Chain A
C-alpha cells in the first residue's frame, strides 16, 4: 500500500515541478533559430538572398537552398547542430538561401510565374555573378522543391545539380491534402478573391487538421523532454518553425492549387510558366530526389515520380524513414541523411 502512495506523491511533486518549468518556458523568450552567420547579398520586395560563407571552402560549385513559400526559410538553418545550411558550410560548400519573406496584403497580385521566373531566376543570377560560375546546385525543400524542379526544367543550362527534399510532383495521391484541395472540395478562387493572400492562420489550421492528435502528442513530447535541455531546445526550435506559417501571395497560391493540386498539370508536363510549357524531361542535371516513407504532406509515391519524369541520366532516389520534416532535419537526418547528401554532392560539385 505505502509504496503505491509514495509513487503517487512523488509523481505529483514531479508533475508540479514540470508544470512550473512549462510555465517558465511559455513566458520566456522563443527558441533561438537561424544562428549560422550569414550576410544579406541581395533583396527585392520581401525576398532576401542570404550567403553563408565557408572558411574552408572545398567545393567551388555554389549551392542555392530554396525553401517552401508557405513557411519560413529557417527550417534549413534551424539551430546549431540542426542546421542543414551550417552542416554544408562546415563541409566546405558555398551555401546560399532564398528567404521568401512575409508577403504583405499588396503582394496578393504576385504570381507563381514571378516567384519562379522572376525572383528565383534573379537569385540564381546573383549567385552565379558573385561566384563567377556558370551553374549551381539547386536544393529545394517541399514546395521549394517544386519551384526548383520547374526552374531546372525551364533553365537547365544554369543548374549543375538538382536536389529535391520531400517534394510533391504528382499531386493526385491518396493523401488527405490532395483530397481536400480538389476542385469539388476547395473553392480556391473564392478564397483568394475574398482574402487576397492565403492567410497564414488558415494554412496553419489546415496543417494541424491533417494530424489532429499531433498537438496532444507534441505536448507529451515536450513534457518528456523537460529534463533534457538539448532535446528540449531541439523540440522548441522545431515547434517554433511549425507554428510560424506565413501567408502566401494570393495569385501564386491560386495557380499552385489549380495547376498542381486540382489539374495535376506538372506531372503531365502541361503546366505553363510565363507562357512556356514546363517539361520535367528538360531537367538534365544530376538529380537526387529524397522522399520520406511516412510523409503525409508529400507522400512517397507523389515525390518519387520525379525520377521517372526527369531527363537526368544521373538520377538517384533516396528513401528515408520518417515524416515530412523529421526525415530532413530530425536527429536521425543529421547522423544519416546529411552525410549521404554530402557524399552525393561532393562527387558532383567539383
Chain B
C-alpha cells in the first residue's frame, strides 16, 4: 500500500487528467457539440433581443426614455468629457 495516500490520489489524478483533457478537446471541437450550442445561443439571443425591442417600443410609445437612450446619453457625455481632457492637456502643453 502507498505510504502517503495523498500522493496515491495525486498519481491517480495525473493519470486521469491527460486522457480527460484529450477527450474534452475532441468533444468541444465536435459538430455534435458546436451545432446545438450555436442553435441554443442563437435562440436565447433572439428571444432576449425580441423582448428588449418590444419593451423599448412600449416605452417609446409612452414617451419614455429607454435604457439604450440613457446609455447613449451617458456615452455622449463621456465622449465630451474625454475630448475636454484631451483639449485641456494640449492647452497645458502649449502654455508650457
Residues of A in contact with B (beta carbons under 8 Å apart): 4, 7-8, 11, 14-15, 42-45, 104-110, 118, 122, 125-126, 129, 176, 179-180, 184-187, 190-191, 193-196, 209-213, 216-217, 220, 224
Contact = CB atoms under 8 A, between A and B. Distances in A.
Interface of B: 1-6, 10, 13, 17, 20-21, 24-25, 28-29, 34, 37-38, 41-42, 45-46, 48-49, 52, 67, 70-72, 74-75, 78, 81-82, 85-86, 89, 93
A2 to B, nearest CB: 12
Contacts of B37: 185
Contacts, number: 96
Contacts of A213: 17, 20-21, 24
4 closest pairs, A vs B, by CB?
A106-B74, A11-B5, A190-B45, A106-B71
21 contacts: A11-B5, A43-B85, A44-B86, A104-B74, A106-B70, A106-B72, A108-B75, A179-B29, A185-B34, A185-B37, A185-B38, A186-B41, A187-B42, A190-B45, A191-B45, A194-B48, A212-B20, A212-B28, A213-B17, A217-B13, A220-B13
A106 B17 contact: no
A217 B81 contact: no
Nearest to B77: A106
B25 A4 contact: no
A187 B41 contact: yes
Contact of A44 (B2, B21, B71, B85): B85
Contacts of A217: 13, 17
A196 B71 contact: yes
B42 A190 contact: yes
Contact of B75 (A42, A109, A180): A109
A107 B82 contact: no
Nearest to A214: B21
A104 B2 CA distance: 54
Contacts of A176: 25, 28-29
Nearest to B46: A190
Given A8-B5, A44-B81, A213-B24, A110 B75 contact: yes
A106 B78 contact: yes
A196 B71 CA distance: 10
A129 B93 contact: yes
Given A44-B81, A107-B75, 5 more contacts: A7-B1, A44-B85, A185-B37, A191-B45, A194-B49
Contacts of B28: 176, 180, 209-210, 212
A176 B52 CA distance: 32
Nearest to A179: B29
Contact of B71 (A11, A105, A195, A209): A105
B1 A4 contact: yes
A109 B72 contact: yes
A104 B10 CA distance: 43
B74 to A, nearest CB: 4
A7 B78 contact: no
A299 B37 CA distance: 24
A216 B16 CA distance: 11
Nearest to B37: A185
A45 B81 contact: yes
Contacts of A211: 21
Nearest to B10: A220
B24 A212 contact: yes
A43 B49 CA distance: 34
B17 A45 contact: no
A258 B33 CA distance: 22
Contact of A194 (B3, B10, B20, B52): B52
Contact of A109 (B10, B45, B46, B71): B71
Given A185-B38, A193-B49, A212-B24, A7 B17 contact: no
